[in-house]
Amino acid sequence: MNKKVVVQIPAYNEYDVITEAINDIPRDIFGTNNIEIVVINDGSTDHTLEVVAKTNVRHIVDLQRHHGLGEAYKSGLAYGLKIGADIIVNTDADLQYRGEDIEKLLEPILKNEADVVIGDRQLEKIERYPRHKFITQRVGSLLVAVLFRNEIKDVTSGFRAYTREAAEVLIEHLRNPYTYTVESLCILSKKKMRICSVPVNIRFPTRASKLITNKADYVKDFFVTVFKCFFSRY
């Protein structure tokens, strides 16, 4: 594999785990070391930025003030393309996802079988996974399958890989700072991008979500986003 892979890690007040998250990313995948890590500091008010500066990460995007995960995510995509990424992998700073599973995300793209690969967390196997999040994921996946004719097993998973072309589409059209996970899949489905899922294992339990502070608002925004995408022209 001679493609350049950029692994982006959006971070907001993650000083206590960000070093471990960085170290968890493999530096050699499928025999190549053409891998760059980008940390997007989303206006952290703790010591996240200082901690990252002490690691071997060469690429740090500092948003200076808190914009939300969706904006940090899109900023990471733009920066990844700027430094020549052929494939961009998104993972979380909270250690939910395992760096060793990045190879699983890359394989379908490298085989030219997909433009986008989603890490399926296999939530049905996790006994203590929050019920509201499980229901949202299940119903959301069903909605995307029905409305966009694209069966994706885990639409809320943030562990995913994009080709350069798919990332360019998202930079142009992604708008939602909150439920970016499902919005991006709706957009890419309408653009006829090839999307597939691969099973991955997660570390659980992880800390409480910093994105979801109000369950009702999250669920409402989730479904509004799906229908808004359905009726939009891209």
pLDDT at 142: 92
Q: Token match 């690691």: residue?
A: 55
pTM of the entire predicted model: 0.92
HSE-up (13 A, CA, CB side) for residue 17 = 15
Q: Give the least confident one: 4-18, 50-64, 84-98, 201-215.
A: 201-215
pLDDT at 79: 98
Q: Is the pLDDT at 226 greater than 60, yes or no? A: yes
Per-residue confidence band for 135, with pLDDT thresholds at 50, 70 and 90: confident
The pLDDT of 60-72, averaged and rounded, is 94
- What sign results for the dihedral spanned by CA atoms 136, 141, 144, 145? negative
pLDDT at 185: 95
Judge contact between 223 and 143, C-beta under 8 A: yes
Which own/partner contact pairs does 226-231 have at CB distance under 8 Å and 24+ positions apart?
226/140, 226/143, 226/144, 226/147, 226/182, 226/186, 227/147, 229/183, 229/186, 229/187, 229/190, 230/147, 230/148, 230/186
Q: Which CATH class is domain 5-231?
A: alpha beta
pLDDT at 111: 95
**Arithmetic mean of pLDDT over the chain:** 91
